[in-house]
Amino acid sequence: MSRAYNFCAGPATLPEPVLQQAREEMLDWHGTGMSVMEMSHRGDEFVEIADTAEKDLRELAGVSDDYAVLFMQGGASSQFATIPLNLLGDKTSADYVNTGIWSKKAIAEASRYGHVNVAASSEADGFTSIPDQESWNTRADAAYLHYTPNETIGGLEFDFVPDSGSVPLVADMSSTMLSRPLEVSRFGLIYAGAQKNIGPSGLVVVIIRKDLLGRARKITPTMMNYQVFADNDSMFNTPATYSWYLAGLVFKWLKAQGGVTAMGEINRRKASKLYGFIDNNDFYANPISPRFRSWMNIPFTLADDALNNAFLEGANERGLLNLKGHRSVGGMRASIYNAMPEAGVDALIDYMTAFAKERG
Ligand code: PMP
């Protein structure tokens, strides 16, 4: 067996020890004679798996008892509707910051349920930077302020947590969750699709301040109601048990790496190595203002687009997979989440060096 370095933006590479453990436990989990996939979600075994995963996530991310942790389904995209349905309450409008494709999708969906005030946007500069908070047009009577800390496609990332005053701050952390320390108390709600730093796709983790529960509109589908999920330990229906289990294995792996503080150091180092290389090589370029460059998703272009296919073919031959940029941006993108080892970044830089020498 040979494992490639997979730079996919999501579903993304998972830690190899996690996959190995899942393989070992596949047919018989801890002597029960069952796979986790076959267990009753209400049985003692699975309840233990679920509780342990939640406990480990709380410990890793520093989530206090003031917050509920929910394991929901439908990916991060379903949250684009779930959030306004639950949080608009008796208010009519919410503030959104537009920093790229994922913010736009969140805005489009929320607009179906209420008025969206786009409080700030970096569209005018092609989503290459983030406007200073002093220039934002936020409103004190907004139901919440939504932003996307890391734009997975553009590779644009906030280097600050916005100050939303008494308005609850809502963050789509799909592609940055658990990549570094986080001050949960600054947020009303954090959500993250699992398929980058947490586990398999489909699962979405929601961390919500408990005072924001119970505000859902009457028309809110039961399966989208945060209060229902909180009251039922995310088991109102059959949860995505296997994904939840795998997320739990990833949390254990993260703890063994030294948690989010150690991860943050490693991620900073990996990203600055790759950006440093790109900046020092005329053949490659990244358009994002250096202060707001993502640690997780690094888009780059070659000096000549006509070489893109040759670059990708050569990369595949070396076991460097999924480097093609998003169809809306073009060029390349290397996603280097927690589970991408530093050796993977080194291998990519070696290949980029050789390719530029040969073709540049
Ligand atoms: N938000 C962000 C920032 C994302 O990167 C993604 C997925 N790439 C989504 C939302 C959508 O996630 P899902 O496919 O799980 O709905």
pLDDT tens digits in sequence order for the chain, 360 residues long: 689 999 999 999 999 999 999 999 999 999 999 999 999 999 999 999 999 999 999 999 999 999 999 999 999 999 999 999 999 999 999 999 999 999 999 999 999 999 999 999 999 999 999 999 999 999 999 999 999 999 999 999 999 999 999 999 999 999 999 999 999 999 999 999 999 999 999 999 999 999 999 999 999 999 999 999 999 999 999 999 999 999 999 999 999 999 999 999 999 999 999 999 999 999 999 999 999 999 999 999 999 999 999 999 999 999 999 999 998 888 999 999 999 999 999 999 999 999 999 998
Question: Which residue's CA lies nearest to atom 5 of ligand 1?
Answer: 152
d(CA 85, CA 80): 9
Assess whether 66 carries a catalytic annotation: no
Annotated binding-site residue? 42: yes
Q: Which of 73, 148, 152 to mutate to test the pocket of ligand 1 (most atoms within 8 A of CB)?
A: 152
Q: H/E element holding 95?
A: strand 93-98
Q: What is the pLDDT of residue 328?
A: 83
Pairing of strands 297-302, 332-335: antiparallel
Q: What is the pLDDT of residue 344?
A: 98
Ligand 1 centre and the CA of 154: distance in Å?
A: 13
Q: Which of 95, 172, 244, 253 is catalytic?
A: 172
Assess whether 253 carries a catalytic annotation: no
C-beta separation of 206 from 75 below 8 A: no
Q: What is the pLDDT of residue 360?
A: 80
Assess whether 196 carries a catalytic annotation: yes
What CATH homologous superfamily does 259-359 map to?
Aspartate Aminotransferase, domain 1 (3.90.1150.10)
Annotated binding-site residue? 269: no
d(CA 175, CA 298): 12
Distance of CA 353 to the CA centre of its chain: 29
Options 3.40.50.800, 3.40.50.300, 1.10.10.10, 3.40.640.10; CATH for 16-256 is: 3.40.640.10
For the entire predicted model, the pTM comes to 0.98
Q: What is the pLDDT of residue 265?
A: 98
Annotated binding-site residue? 225: no
Long-range CB contacts for residues 124-127, cutoff 8 Å, separation at least 24:
126/287, 127/99, 127/100, 127/151, 127/154, 127/156
Annotated binding-site residue? 82: no
d(CA 198, CA 74): 15
Q: Which of 56, 95, 102, 295 is catalytic?
A: 102
* Residue ranges covered by each domain of the chain: 16-256, 259-359
Q: What is the pLDDT of residue 49?
A: 98
Annotated binding-site residue? 237: yes
Where do the H-state alpha helices sit in the chain?
16-25, 44-61, 75-87, 101-110, 226-231, 241-256, 259-279, 308-317, 342-359
d(CA 223, CA 59): 27
Q: What is the pLDDT of residue 120?
A: 98
Predicted ipTM of the assembly: 0.99
Question: Which residue's CA lies nearest to atom 12 of ligand 1?
Answer: 76
C-beta separation of 143 from 94 below 8 A: yes
Identity (one letter) of the amino acid at 134?
Answer: E
Ligand 1 centre and the CA of 79: distance in Å?
A: 10
Ligand 1 centre and the CA of 174: distance in Å?
A: 6
C-beta separation of 114 from 87 below 8 A: no
H and E: helices and strands count for the chain:
9, 14
DSSP state of 31: G
Ligand 1 lining (C-beta closer than 6 Å):
10, 75-77, 102, 148, 152, 172, 174-175, 193, 201
Q: Please tell me whether residue 34 adopts helix, strand or coil conformation.
A: coil
Q: What is the CA radius of gyration of the chain?
A: 21
Residue 292: name the closest of 118, 107, 106, 132 by CA.
Answer: 132
Residue 95: name the closest of 45, 169, 11, 185 by CA.
Answer: 169
Ligand 1 centre and the CA of 102: distance in Å?
A: 7
Ligand 1 centre and the CA of 37: distance in Å?
A: 25
Q: What is the pLDDT of residue 330?
A: 87
